[in-house]
């Protein structure tokens, strides 16, 4: 591992990763490799998470193609040094900002979108001219092995490599002095990553999780709210970092919303969701057991059946939940949706603000004033008005958390920025030399007072 890391350090120093043609070629190579392995990627996602081909293509493969296409088109503009104005005090000089690659990056990925969350950051790393080591999750070992095969066939290891393994391997990697760490995963591990990075003062991008609310007010288009919440929640069996974690609904419309959510669960996944080709599996038996414990809380108003060995839990709606229940104390990350109520929007805002800043927030409301109030008064990573999930799937919106839900962002230009340092350079003239700044000039103070008032 140390050997590989040193190799990447040396390779980066050669400067080969920097020219625009090289970067564009590598992005092309990456795309060709994904095309080649598309079938295997889809099959592996089916085996490990029971993802349908549609979900695999749209949420794991298609978005990466789109990210590559978007990058390749704009990269020639982004890598140009940017000329910026220079103040009068610096007369004779010109100012520039040069984007430069960080160097050797560590990308640590989770298991829930095991392909996309390893490869999408890599697109940013390549575009910005870096080397990278990817550490996929040990919970999806088939995908981890497939990523290793695909990447080692496509790139020399001194440029981009995959290192497989679990916590121990991850910790060994974190001991090395990377130039930047891009971590996607849970809040507790995010803290471990940041503490390890602090030893070397390595900058980090942390894409974490948390409890993302879906707020439904009395003016909401209830039918669409129910449909879009059910879709966003039960996609990948609830194992999506930006899935609505819980619903906060105006007490007056709760029963109607629940009825409509039940209807859409059946419409999307049938009476026997475990038999549906569209319904995912929990990643492991251990993760299923953790989720099953939540079923003892509140009242199950829909679903509740499960099979630990087969790793599935029915899409489940939990009513009569309180903030003190365990299900409200940690990120759920599974197909269980607690429903809580509020009387006024001020109360709903206060409830959300009493906890950590969420990664995502979804508001369903036709009232523009309420929309504005929620956007202004709650801090969250990103989100949607009258939808769920969709804000993640556009390269024009930077994606990331705030507070405990993460730091830094990526996607589109933000991915290029995440893997770049912006170096400021002032180019001074030697044609003349203003003497006023020098200590031996008797008028120095007078001039400086005139200039900086
Ligand atoms: P995790 O934090 O357990 O693991 C993520 C990665 O960290 C894995 O590769 C794992 O091997 C490694 N790791 C685990 N423990 C470690 C340790 N002690 N030291 C060093 N490395 C360690 O997360 P997970 O269970 O794979 O994924 C689920 C979490 O990720 C959820 O909280 C979810 O919200 C979050 N997530 C966030 C995003 C996002 O984009 N913000 C996307 C997907 C998932």
What's the whole-model pTM score?
0.96
Q: Which atom of ligand 1 is nearest to the CA of 187?
A: 32
Tokens of 83: 């000329």
Sheet holding 94-101, edge to edge: 82-84, 94-101, 420-427
CA angle 389, 394, 400 (to 5 degrees): 65
pLDDT at 299 over 90: yes
C-alpha 194 to ligand 1 mean position (Å): 13
CA distances (Å), 285 to each of 22, 269, 312, 331, 450, in order? 44, 22, 9, 18, 72
pLDDT at 437 over 90: no
C-alpha 359 to ligand 1 mean position (Å): 14
Q: Which residues line ligand 1 (CB under 6 A)?
A: 108-112, 117, 135, 137-138, 166-167, 170-171, 174, 184-186, 189, 192, 207-209, 241, 331, 333, 359, 401, 406
pLDDT at 436 over 90: no
Question: Which helix (DSSP H) or strand (DSSP E) does residue 233 occupy?
Answer: helix 222-234
Residues 194 and 127: their CA atoms lie apart, in Å, by 24
Whole-number pLDDT of residue 442 = 86
Residue in 55, 158, 207, 314 annotated catalytic? 207
DSSP letter assigned to residue 410: B
Q: Which atom of ligand 1 is nearest to the CA of 400?
A: 41
Residues 34 and 149: their CA atoms lie apart, in Å, by 11
Report pLDDT digits (tens) over 24-82: 999 999 999 999 999 999 999 999 999 999 999 999 999 999 999 999 999 999 999 99
Residue in 48, 131, 241, 297 annotated catalytic? 241
Residues 308 and 287: their CA atoms lie apart, in Å, by 9
Q: 207 catalytic, yes or no?
A: yes
Whole-number pLDDT of residue 128 = 98
Whole-number pLDDT of residue 447 = 83
Tokens of 357: 């800043």
Q: 131 catalytic, yes or no?
A: no
Kindly state the average pLDDT of the residues 297-315: 97
Whole-number pLDDT of residue 450 = 82
DSSP letter assigned to residue 408: -
Q: Give the CA count within 13 Å in the CB-facing half-sphere of 322.
A: 2
Q: Which atom of ligand 1 is nearest to the CA of 242?
A: 34
Model confidence at 443, pLDDT cuts 50, 70, 90, reads confident
C-beta separation of 330 from 312 below 8 A: no
Whole-number pLDDT of residue 68 = 98
Report pLDDT digits (tens) over 318-372: 999 999 999 999 999 999 999 999 999 999 999 999 999 999 999 999 999 999 9
To test the pocket of ligand 1, the residue of 186, 333, 391 to mutate (highest count of ligand atoms within 8 Å of its CB) is: 186
pLDDT at 449 over 90: no
Report pLDDT digits (tens) over 134-183: 999 999 999 999 999 999 999 999 999 999 999 999 999 999 999 999 99
Whole-number pLDDT of residue 445 = 83
What is the DSSP code string of 174-236?
HHS--SEEEEES-HHHHHHHHHHHHHHT--EEEE-----EEEE-TTS-HHHHHHHHHHHHHGG
List the beta bridge partners of residue 132: 105, 160
Q: How far apart are the first and last CA of the chain?
A: 56
C-alpha 112 to ligand 1 mean position (Å): 9
Residues 51 and 278: their CA atoms lie apart, in Å, by 7
pLDDT at 411 over 90: yes
Kindly state the average pLDDT of the residues 415-430: 98
Model confidence at 132, pLDDT cuts 50, 70, 90, reads very high
């Amino acid at each position: 591992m140390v050997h590989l890391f040193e190799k990447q350090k040396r390779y980066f120093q050669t400067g080969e990763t920097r020219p625009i043609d090289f970067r564009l070629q590598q992005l092309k190579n990456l795309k060709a490799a994904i095309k080649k392995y598309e079938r295997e990627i889809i099959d592996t996602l089916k085996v490990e998470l029971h993802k349908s081909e549609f979900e695999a293509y749209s949420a794991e493969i298609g978005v990466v193609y789109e990210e590559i296409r978007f990058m390749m088109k704009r990269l020639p503009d982004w890598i140009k040094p940017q000329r910026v104005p220079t103040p009068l005090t610096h007369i004779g000089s010109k100012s520039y900002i040069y984007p430069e690659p960080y160097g050797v990056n560590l990308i640590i990925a989770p298991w829930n979108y095991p392909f996309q969350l390893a490869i999408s950051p890599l697109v940013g790393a390549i575009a910005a001219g870096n080397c990278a080591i990817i550490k996929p999750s040990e919970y999806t070992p088939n995908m981890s092995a497939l990523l290793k095969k695909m990447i080692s066939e496509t790139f020399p290891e001194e440029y981009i490599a995959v290192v497989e393994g679990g916590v121990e391997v991850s910790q060994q990697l974190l001991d090395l002095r990377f130039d930047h760490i891009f971590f996607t995963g849970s809040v507790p591990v995010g803290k471990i990553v940041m503490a390890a990075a602090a030893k070397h003062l390595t900058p980090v991008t942390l894409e974490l999780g948390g409890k993302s609310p879906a707020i439904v007010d009395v003016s909401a288009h209830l039918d669409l709210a129910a449909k879009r919440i059910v879709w966003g929640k039960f996609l990948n069996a609830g194992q999506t970092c930006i899935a609505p974690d819980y619903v906060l609904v105006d007490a007056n419309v709760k029963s109607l919303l629940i009825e409509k959510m039940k209807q859409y669960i059946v419409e999307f996944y049938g009476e026997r969701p475990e038999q549906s080709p569209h319904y995912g599996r929990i990643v492991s038996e251990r993760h299923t057991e953790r989720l099953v414990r939540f079923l003892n809380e509140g009242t199950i108003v829909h679903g509740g059946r499960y099979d630990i060995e087969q790793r599935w839990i029915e899409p489940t709606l939990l009513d009569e939940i309180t903030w003190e229940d365990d299900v409200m104390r940690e990120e759920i990350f599974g197909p269980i949706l607690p429903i809580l109520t509020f009387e006024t929007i001020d109360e709903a805002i206060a409830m959300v603000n009493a906890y950590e800043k969420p990664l995502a927030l979804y508001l369903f409301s036709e009232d523009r004033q309420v929309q504005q109030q929620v956007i202004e008064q709650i801090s969250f990573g990103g989100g949607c008005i009258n939808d769920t999930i969709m804000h993640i799937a556009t390269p024009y919106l930077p994606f990331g958390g705030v507070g405990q839900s993460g730091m830094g962002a990526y996607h589109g230009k933000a991915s290029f920025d995440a893997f770049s340092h912006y170096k400021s350079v002032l180019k001074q003239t030697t044609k003349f030399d203003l003497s006023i700044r020098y200590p031996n000039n008797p008028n120095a103070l007078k001039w400086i007072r005139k200039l900086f008032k």
